[in-house]
Amino acid sequence: MKNAITAAALLVCLSLAASQDSSIRDAMAAELPIPPRGDVSIQGYGDRNMLCQEWTDGCRTCTRPESGDPVCSNLGIACQPKAISCTRRAEQKK
């Protein structure tokens, strides 16, 4: 009988812990910024705008070296990305 009570108490504790984990996970997900639909990723921006040599979203900066493949920095912990904008364009050949 004592083992049954101990097992029941353990099950109650485990179910409470599991429900708290999911509520914490849900709260953390609610705090993450959700990008507006139709936004282009920071890497995709460089693919769409080939004349842009350097672009940023206020958190990350990407550059296009001579090889042509974009190189981007990492996102900071508390940074809130904004709209992507080109900060340096390639010079037009004359």
| Chain centroid, CA 49 distance in Å | 22
17-30 pLDDT, tens per residue?
Answer: 555 555 555 655 45
What pTM was estimated for this model as a whole?
A: 0.54
| Cβ–Cβ under 8 Å, residues 60 and 74 | yes
- Give the C-alpha separation, 57 to 87, whole Å: 10
| Chain centroid, CA 70 distance in Å | 18
Pairing assessment for the beta strands 61-63 and 52-56 based on DSSP bridges: antiparallel
pLDDT value, residue 33: 47
